[in-house]
Amino acid sequence: MGVASRVKQGVTGRVSRVRRSQQRRSDARFAERFARQWAAQWSSARSERRPETPVVIAAGPSNYDRGRVPYGVDLAAAWSWRLLVMVAAGYVLARGIAMFGVVVLPLVIALLLAALVAPVVVLLERLRLPRSLASLLVVVGTIGVVAALLTFAGQQIANGASDLASQVVKALDQIEDWLKTGPLHASDSQINGYIQSAQDAVTSSNKEIVSRLTEVTTAISHIVAGLFIVLFGTYFFLADGRRIWGWVVRLFPRAARERADSSGRVAWTSLTAFVRATVLVAFTDALGIMIGAAVLKVPFVFAIGVLVFIGAFIPLIGAFLSGTVAVLVALVDQGPIVALLMLAVVVGIQQLEAHVLQPFLMGRLVSVHPLGVIVAIAMGVLVAGIAGALVAVPFVAAANAVVLHLADHARVAREAEEVSVGDPPSEQAPA
């Protein structure tokens, strides 16, 4: 066989092999496409016969965001739990004060007395007296003045007690006659029944008092102990008040000591102003009611004045409540017409205090609204009775002054910070 025939056979064989390879690849692609179509049709048929398998979502990190809570709800919740904490703290503090009230209340009264007579101690210091000696002289002088006032008032009451007792008997007889001849037309048996009921009530109350003799003795011992605490507390507040306050300031954190010291000084200034204003108001009330009682010839003028002066330390209502004693004395001694005139004097003095003295003095020196005074007195009575009413208003005045001082301090600091941030450095300032 020649060379040409062999070359032709080789080419023909190569071409046939290429065609067979192409045919096999075409068959493989057709089989693959057929398999995919068949698998898709089979899967579709199975999904129609069986329910769809539920999709399982894997757990992941929480996507909670504070911004998704409404702003009002978030703000109300924040204020609510803080308010609850403050109320709980206030309740615990009030319970603690009530538990140790025998000690706390005399110390508060001593603090008020120290605020009242502190200018006298400063005056004696300017006369080159040691502060301890000046404080002792002021305390002894205060005791002497109070004892003299009470002694003089007691002597006046003792001298006129017999006359007042006879006037009481006459007044009772007049009341009995009025019950018989007045619009009630009460019979003797009814009047005697009323008198017997009153006697039974007095007798039963006496028995109750006797049964509680131990409690009365304990109360008297507490009063005596409280008087000693007031005396010693007043002396040490006057003599060592600066060192005591320095010790209290050191209890605060270092960063807060400056503001604590300035707040305490503002509170002391407000307390001193309140006590002085209260003394002026009480003296004016006592003097006005004494003049009215003297003009109407009501007995026990000086004793009534002392009582009104002490009672006027309860703002707004103290002078009126203590002045009702003058009305009762006038009713017993002079009759109902003079009693009505005395009541008019007391009401007039109370109106003068409420509309002139309190706004002028308290508004300028303490800046406490009359509604705040009434609320403070009511809360003080609920917590500690009459003593609470005496202490509540100066406490509110001092707290109000401290709050205003801290708010003003924060405002000044914020303005200073804004100025320091907003001003450019000096080297970069425009020419």
| Residue 126, pLDDT above cutoff 80 | yes
Q: Please give the model's pTM, rounded to 2 decimal places.
A: 0.62
Please report the pLDDT score of residue 33 as a whole number.
78
How does pLDDT run across 9-31, given as a tens digit for each residue? Answer: 766 777 677 777 777 777 777 77
Question: Residue 426 has what DSSP assignment?
Answer: G
Please report the pLDDT score of residue 430 as a whole number.
40
Please report the pLDDT score of residue 211 as a whole number.
53
Overall residue count recorded for the chain in this entry:
431
400: which residues sit within 8 A by CB, 6+ positions away? Answer: 270, 366, 367, 368, 372
363/379: higher pLDDT: 379
Backbone angles phi, psi at 252, to 5 degrees: -80, 160
425/383: higher pLDDT: 383
91/415: higher pLDDT: 91
Across 40-48, average pLDDT: 65
> What is the rounded radius of gyration, in angstroms, for the C-alpha atoms of the chain?
46
d(Cα 345, Cα 295) in Å, to the nearest integer?
11
Please report the pLDDT score of residue 378 as a whole number.
78
Q: Are the CB atoms for 363 and 354 separated by under 8 Å? A: no
Across 82-108, average pLDDT: 84
Across 269-277, average pLDDT: 83
54 — alpha (psi -120 to 50), left (phi > 0) or beta? Answer: beta
Question: Residue 255 has what DSSP assignment?
Answer: G
Specify the 3-state DSSP secondary structure of 297: coil
Q: Are the CB atoms for 312 and 318 separated by under 8 Å? A: yes
Give the CA diameter of the chain.
177
379: which residues sit within 8 A by CB, 6+ positions away? Answer: 388, 392
Could you tell me what percent of the chain has a pLDDT over 90?
2
263/318: higher pLDDT: 263
- Going 31 to 33 to 34 to 35, the CA torsion angle's sign is positive
Residue 251's closest CA among 242, 260, 243? 260
Please provide the average confidence, as pLDDT, over all residues in the chain: 75
Please report the pLDDT score of residue 228 as a whole number.
85
Across 309-314, average pLDDT: 78
45-59, 371-385, 392-406: which has the minimum mean pLDDT? 45-59
150: which residues sit within 8 A by CB, 6+ positions away? Answer: 306
Please report the pLDDT score of residue 64 as a whole number.
52
- pLDDT interval class at 428 (50, 70, 90): very low
- What is the CB neighbour count within 10 angstroms for residue 168? 12
Please report the pLDDT score of residue 28 as a whole number.
74
Please report the pLDDT score of residue 165 as a whole number.
59
Across 260-276, average pLDDT: 86
d(Cα 243, Cα 334) in Å, to the nearest integer?
56
